[in-house]
Structure 1
């Protein structure tokens, strides 16, 4: 096994921007809003971009390598995570995602809890995370009257901010940001309000799943200084754990036979060195660390998000 990269899957969105073109040369023409970089979902499945498995789909290599690839504690039937980069020139819809129970029953999909790391943000950029001063009835009336703003918790953001967005939390990415999104492997979204852009809304389902008690906050995490790098524990949930690595020189790591790891480079460039070779990591890359890779080193001056399924 070796560190695996996948081809970027690009998707046009009416709110898309050009943030990806600043560090990639393979972005297609059009209003690109999302790049799915590690994905194994019915609406988008990655194809291996490097090494001896190049050209194989994610599904194919899971079927062949199973535990060796994903780890002994990971369900092989449904890959649990999806890594995206989101570039927004305009506002996304005000939306919400269902939990696992509702999504499985109504949509035959996983629920969607996600996390946002702000890779870059223009001056004055913001995100909507949660509601304020309202309940279901007030919110419903505000949707009907088009007067939602007063009930939306809008937060100014900057590079390096992090938000944990639970299923049931009303949210929206606004214009002028580049986001790394780590999420459950789901593509179920209920739009509450879409700024009169003519797209389908899902108000009834949204009102079913919104939890007005949830709050969205900028998480600073817990910083641990190591020799050669800093590690910040950003979140621990039943769906995923996320840590930020600020590599100053080198970080020595070892894979876990119980689970895979995912690394997403959010600043700078570096190198992963392992027993049989090395793999370069560039800004914006996501890379899959197989459960049986063994010892490896992260070398350079760069920042990474490490995502994985915890053992709770």
Structure 2
């Protein structure tokens, strides 16, 4: 049988640094004025997304992975491997680091490691990210953290809309205020906070830090994530390849008119970040718009996208 695109209802998360951009830019019905995250395509136990259409409507992505592995090309593994998020960073995020698979496996009760990447959808002028550090040894890293020498330690990079950053596990990093980002990552929530600007939780307690784990997990000295960007233009579409890495490959599809495409992967994750269009496969057509997220399953027939739109697309 011809497989159809599987659309999802996202899950939203309130964050101390969140705002209203997910509502303002995408029209989502957000939780509050401090909504920081949209878990758009998620099979993580802390926020599985729900199927919005078709024969599997109402099931979670986790259930689909467990019960219908044929939709994902029979890929092995006990969990869906990727997690796609939209992040509204109204205020600075905490400075943090994520473990690799080995360290997470030893210390985080079955979580995966967390390599991730960011596509900057929008940001205010002169917005920044924190990406890496200057310490040459773990001892120097501990000394600089203990002395509070954040200006000397942290590498700040100016960003602009359309930028892409690959953030391997072990990278000390943070998104800074005034950024709207699409994040593709391993399906993990393992995070070690290094510094949080002395902010308090709503309960009035300081936010938890994880010094020992952060130091253990951090890559020292810092190594930039390697990306090899390339662009291909053909009738109706420009495809920009951002990264083809160990855990995921990520692309941007800019469609203007009509583009003929094929699905040659175990599955494709698609997030519409601008514009609208329609996807035709076999005799079926389904419309989509900005803010929609869907998976094109394995064995889906060749398809055509019509419209003027931008999608961020990823696969294993």
Q: Which residue of 2 aligns with 1:259?
A: 266
Q: List runs of 5+ in structure 2 lacking aligned partners.
A: 200-205
Matched, 1:85 2:92: no
Seen in structure 2, the aligned counterparts of structure 1 residues 154 and 304 have a Cα distance that, compared at 3 Å, is same
Q: Which residue of 1 aligns with 2:21?
A: 19
Q: CA shift at 1:216, angstroms? A: 3.7
Rounded Cα–Cα distance in structure 1 between residues aligned with 2:142 and 2:315: 37
* Aligned residues between the structures: 306
Matched, 1:301 2:308: yes
Seen in structure 2, the aligned counterparts of structure 1 residues 141 and 182 have a Cα distance that, compared at 3 Å, is same
Q: Which residue of 2 aligns with 1:189?
A: 191
Q: Which residue of 2 aligns with 1:128?
A: 130
Rounded Cα–Cα distance in structure 2 between residues aligned with 1:46 and 1:178: 20
Rounded Cα–Cα distance in structure 2 between residues aligned with 1:123 and 1:38: 29
TM-score, normalising length: structure 2: 0.92
1:225-262 superposed Cα distances (whole Å, 9 cap, x missing partner): 21211111110111001111111212212223x50111
Q: CA shift at 1:212, angstroms? A: 2.2
TM-score, normalising length: structure 1: 0.93
Q: Which residue of 2 aligns with 1:34?
A: 37
Rounded Cα–Cα distance in structure 2 between residues aligned with 1:165 and 1:293: 31
* Contact 2:229–2:242 (CA under 8 A) maintained in structure 1: yes
Q: CA shift at 1:280, angstroms? A: 2.3
Matched residue SS, 1:175 = coil
Bigger CA drift: 174-183 or 144-153?
144-153
Matched residue SS, 1:297 = strand
Rounded Cα–Cα distance in structure 2 between residues aligned with 1:140 and 1:57: 42
Rounded Cα–Cα distance in structure 2 between residues aligned with 1:213 and 1:234: 24
Seen in structure 2, the aligned counterparts of structure 1 residues 267 and 217 have a Cα distance that, compared at 3 Å, is farther
Matched, 1:274 2:281: yes
* Contact 1:83–1:180 (CA under 8 A) maintained in structure 2: yes
* Contact 1:161–1:218 (CA under 8 A) maintained in structure 2: no
Q: CA shift at 1:134, angstroms? A: 4.0
Q: Which residue of 1 aligns with 2:99?
A: 98
Q: List runs of 5+ in structure 1 lacking aligned partners.
A: none
Q: 2:218 aligns with which of 210, 220, 231?
A: 210
Bigger CA drift: 28-37 or 8-17?
28-37
Q: Which residue of 2 aligns with 1:287?
A: 294
Matched residue SS, 2:6 = coil
Q: CA shift at 1:58, angstroms? A: 1.6
Q: CA shift at 1:168, angstroms? A: 0.5
Q: CA shift at 1:208, angstroms? A: 0.4
Q: Which residue of 1 aligns with 2:157?
A: 155
Matched, 1:45 2:48: yes
* Contact 2:238–2:253 (CA under 8 A) maintained in structure 1: yes
Q: CA shift at 1:59, angstroms? A: 2.3
Rounded Cα–Cα distance in structure 2 between residues aligned with 1:274 and 1:45: 27
Q: Which residue of 2 aligns with 1:112?
A: 114
